[in-house]
Amino acid sequence: MKIGDKSIDFDKDGFMVNPGLWDEQIARAIAGDEGIEEMTEQHWAIVNFIRNYWLEHDLAPAVRLICSDVGVGVRQIYKLFTSGPARGACRVAGLPKPDGCV
């Protein structure tokens, strides 16, 4: 798929095949596919936290860490990302699909 001037491949779950190519424009495109009309400040805070955590630990953060860092309530995150933190927020943040039952 062509996003901006980059050609981006997604796996069959819709996660980026090359997470290194991620940028904000791609994040907006994935968010659009998630049904998020506009990426608010809170959306970005969550996405950037997940992204940075993943760059540092090579791992998706647990929802507790996301909520505590960004300062959103546990019920709020499912309103912002209706697919939840894994298939929603992690996907927008350009992470590979987390393993297991998600």
Give the H/E segment covering residue 7.
strand 6-7
Residues in the interface with other proteins (CB under 8 A) total 29
* Cβ neighbour number for residue 60 with a 10 Å cutoff: 22
Q: Which of 25, 40, 52, 102 binds other proteins (CB under 8 A)?
A: 102
From residue 2 to residue 41, the character string flagging contacts with other proteins as x (rule: CB under 8 A) and all else as - is: ---------xxxxx------------------xx------
Q: Measured from the CB atom, is 55 or 62 closer to other proteins?
A: 62
Smallest distance, other proteins to C-beta of residue 44, A: 20
Q: Report which DSSP code applies to 16.
A: B
Looking at the DSSP bridge assignments, the partners of residue 100 are: none
Q: Is 35 left (phi over 0), alpha (psi -120 to 50) or beta?
A: left
Q: Which stretch binds other proteins (CB under 8 A): 19-27, 38-46, 47-55, 77-85?
A: 77-85
Q: Please state, in angstroms and rounded to a whole number, the distance separating the CA atoms of residues 9 and 27.
A: 13
Q: Which of 8, 85, 92, 94 binds other proteins (CB under 8 A)?
A: 85
Catalytic residues: 101
